[in-house]
Structure 1
């Protein structure tokens, strides 16, 4: 599958997120501890928000550990909201248009998981995408189709409901075609201010997902840790797997849960498909 991280908080250099941690995302691209695949070398992507109207995107088909441009750019770009993703293809081509995050306006989307039987279901799923959005689909992945289905179902206005409707629709179509467990997903999406992350699968055995604990509490527990004192109290991370081994720094997101993070406030809500 894939590995990803969603960061919000005080502006940081991208290299502090992608390279510096002991189990950084670039490290996970070669040696994932908790992923289905150890190696996630089928491309990567980084999305970030700065002063421009739209979020920046850097996508590459190179393995993250082997991309010189990623190293160079990450030492220069500072942002307070960052999405990053390393890809392990589930069968679709290794090409830039299949790299996450995907972008529509100010919204970003990234996914770890799959639609089981996607080649069989692809046409029926795609035909439900709003005609005004359909031409924006550039790649061939199930992840991008999920994104545009969610946009069709109202992602811009109510992300939890839109993603729940998307999950319910995919499951209904899949089961109509005899697929027992159609959907596996940990998904993150943002509008540049709020981040929503979802952990769900049809078989209730979802891919791993974790969120960071309160930075203020960690500072009290580890007063001599300089990294923690460089982060603002509103810093939040949602990750496929922890970026380090600091005790108490990470909590697993429960099955069938939506995480909402905005302005240092974090909320965990129950999540399930709507049909």
Structure 2
């Protein structure tokens, strides 16, 4: 079963082809390529960041599995070399400018979003002998919470590279915000805890999570939306299950089990 996410559709929602054409004109860049145009390059760059593709050759091999058009790695390399980095910077600035208070009001969110994630920085093991990571490398990890409103990190926690994200993520939680995180930060115990502390959150579920007592919710179909179902349920097995809450799940059009745990309700 091919796994995928809606990341490329989300990119299209934030910047249109007309706006990309305007930015290219601003920098007098003629996008004459038929197969590997600038939107295709942007999708490959977003895919590389999202799925941690290790090289252009690897990206060319796996991109079609993620729904992208097939492009040879040598073509990607050539086109990226031709593309002025200021164009990519300008596109990035435009997208970031839309992740603001006005966008939040349009989406009718009561709170600002706060994303949390980590970045591992590695060096030779002799430089940081107290932070051995893998093989001949040492590493430190920065766990960061970031708010779109300020465009700045809210909190930063430093650990050695081998520390798991989940337990450290607890230090980054903040009830003033809607917490947005990847599956590394999810646990059933956390879902119960959030019900008690009133921490709103959006977290992707792990592949092997068990869903129980599913109850479909009425929803208004939105044109162009990738969400095909909303339902409440409880999570976990009889040995390890939720005790204090049910959760609302949204199911993207891409195949299960890429559920998004989108909100929590006290039972």
Alignment TM-score > 0.5, same fold: no
Higher relative contact order (CA 8 A, sep 6+): 1
Larger radius of gyration: 2
TM-score between both structures, scaled by the size of structure 2: 0.28
TM-score of the two chains, using structure 1 as the length reference: 0.28
Higher-helix-fraction structure: 2
